Structure 1
Amino acid sequence: MARYSEWLLERRFRLVVVLVIQCAVVVTCVGLTAYAAARVQERQVREATTERVLAVARSLAELDQVRDAIGSDDAEQELQPLTELIQQASGVDYVVISDARGIRITHPVPDERGRPVSTDPSDVLAGATFVGTEEGTLGPTLRAKVPVYRGGVVVGAASVGVLESEIAADLRTSLTAMAPWVLLAMVVGLTGAAGVSAAIGARVRRLEAENAELGEQRRLSRALREQTHEFRTRIHAVYGLVESGESDAALEYLAELAPVTGADTRDGGVEDPRLRAVLGEMAAEYRSQGGVLEIDPLTSTSAGELGADDVSLIANLVINAVEAAGPGGHVHVLVLADEVGTEVAVADDGPGLDPEALPMMMEHGYSTKAPGGERATRGVGLAVVWQIVRDRDGEIEVGRSPAGGALVTVRLRRRR
């Protein structure tokens, strides 16, 4: 059970690691995509703002009203209302018209009118167009400066700008609108990752279980082959001694293999000589350990009703019960055999079976014994029991005995 718990913990850890990696990949991909989208959105906002301020500045510079008013005495009174109207209609932060000397004619701030522009106007007054970000009286602005021509001569300049803070606010608005879609993509991605992880985990569990069962079957098969070979060798030796008339030598040889302490189970209703011999020896051996192997008085096994596999099943159930109860324990056995079939109930006062282990109890190699015990064929007994039950189309029930230990009941049909 400890090994199974360790395996289960390790498998869960691996699945968690896989899920974390998948979630990290999803978050990274969505994050990089969102970052790229934000950069694209920023570029688009700046490009749109640049096109807007340049278009407004060029349209303003081409107005005859602007061309004719620059240099006149009432230029401010005529152009200031016009620039305010254009500023409101285009959504820019300022519209400034200056003369050929770089003196402002219009400006959103009245005190700035009649003063020189804050940046060098020489390039624009020389006929060049400027688009870029500069520090002005209102702060950093993305602006466009266009020369104003009259009669083929530059007579002034039109400057239109949008504050960088306004551009940043527009970008934040765009990103805020995009945020729910990013979160939705994140949720869908993480949900998909969890689904994939669950599917992988289910597949891995199937493969691991199949691999573990296959490995255990191979190990048990080797152990059983070794035991069968050794058993046949000993049977041949006994047969040879008996055939040659050396009965005493045969008995001595058997005594060396399994010292017989002697016990009579006929009073328990065990009529079958093979089962009587097996249970008698087990009872005597267990008695030497301070334990009690009790044959239920209702036991009924007429001679000839039990086959070799019946005896093997009963012996393996008793062996497992004795090992579970331990020295000084108590094991109770009931066997009913007739022309219909065989029913066996074996109870002990051991620690019982862990409920979590019940689904695996009859798997190959399962055992409640600690690994590394004296018996090399750990779990073989239960495997043999389960094999016989399947071969005989029988059924097996596992419960708790009145003494608090395990109660195993097996029903087998009569072999035809």
Structure 2
Amino acid sequence: MRLRARRLSGQILAFQLLILVGTLGLGFVLALVGTQSRLDDQYEERALLVARSVAATPEIARAVARGDDSGVVQRRAEAVRRSTGTTFVVVTDARGIRLAHPDPRRIGQRVSTDPGEALRGGTVLAVETGTLGRSARAKVPLRDDGRIVGAVSVGIHVRALRRELNTLVPVLALYLSGALALGVGASLLLARRLKRQTFGLELDELAGLVQEHEAMLHGIREGVVVVDPAGRLRLVNDQATRLTGLRAQDVGRRVGEVAGGTPLGALLAGESPGTDELLVHGERVVVANRMAVRRDGRDLGAVATLRDRTELDDLVRELDSVRGLSDALRAQAHEFAGRLHTIAGLLALGHPEDARAFIAEISDADVGLRHEIGGRVGEPRVAALLLAKATIAGERGVALELASESALDAELRDPREVLTIVGNLVDNAIDAAAGEPGARVVVGLAVEADALVVWVRDTGPGVARADREAVFSPGWSTKAAEGRGVGLSLVRQLVARRGGDVAVEDTEDGTSGAVFTAWVPGAVRDGAPVPSGSAGGVGPDDAGSA
């Protein structure tokens, strides 16, 4: 049976306690060794002071020089030993023979440790083992009238060292116990803090989370950008780099430094709504969403997701063209059926002349509109679109006209893009003017260098000043129907992709209605006229090709 892995906080606590106990134990041992070494030095110095005081006693020096056999040296040495609390005070002659010793039986015997250094005039400090056991001792020469006549050796048994050391052990142990308790408390607090910062996840869960994180970020087709609470980039995956131009090197920099003053910067900084926002980067159209992240009441920053909808926009434009064709065909079919019914009725009532006059009237009207559009708009697809929109407008009771100053006789770089811009602006104007008395829509086209200028004026209710920016936002519409409010937003993003602009203003004469003007740089090839054979009149079939 597989054992359950220890909790992360428990493992951290166990390792910290192990390190703490080991460190304190080593410190305790080192402290004891250091204390013992200092005590050895102190007792050696104490023994040295006693030895020097004995060696400085003239009576002892003269007695040793005479080869004392009266016991003066022994008595004086023992008196010093008892008064100083040392373990022994040994006095030898120049041959190393004891003249004083705590054990009188050893008087007359040679000392157990080498007295040579002291007899040569040196001073010896050492911890040695003699007949009385191991002790800290000092040896000094004994002089009489400047001549070395013997040596004095004073020692303090290690038992005294141990007794003093034992009095220090509880103090050290208390100190180390306090340090251990403090360390355990700090380790517990650190373990709790780490647990809180890792949201209670264990080691295997964290490892799995990192693997899933990497797999997800590099495996999905959506761009992901993570921003921390301070507004710094924390993550930019490969897809986000492709869609926005942000680089992995930008991680750690503030949003304002890498994308300040751009729609992307406003989205990442939380200055825009952050829901299905359309962004344009180069030739790509991106849908962006931003979501703030909070955990246990803490602000953890935000995550922005980016989806490439360039292909979708291409499909939308194709669909718009197909829808325009369908609407135009339906309107033409309806209008044609109405005209046929009128002609059939006139003939049935026996008014052939009136029927011929009606046919001539509608023929002249259709030919006049076709000639007007075909004469001013050299691009056949745009002309066909305007004819189709005129038919649709007429069905809704709106008169569509071409501005007298209109002229488009240059080749377009991307006709589909222009068709989408013109078609959406005209559709928006027809929707606004429909139902109004004397409803009318005027369309204007002009070329300025390599830029195309499109303006559409309607006689609808107009756009309030407060809504003139919002009207280009995705989903904004005065209609309640679901799915509306896309056309003008699409126009803005297509124009912005070219570096242009689209705006709405009041009509020049101050009447009701609005004027939408789009400036599209780079839409026209410089000095390139419409290819021969494509300009001129637009036949009936051209309206159906929009």
Q: How does the TM-score come out when normalised to structure 1?
A: 0.45
Q: Greater strand share, 1 or 2?
A: 2
Q: Greater helix share, 1 or 2?
A: 1
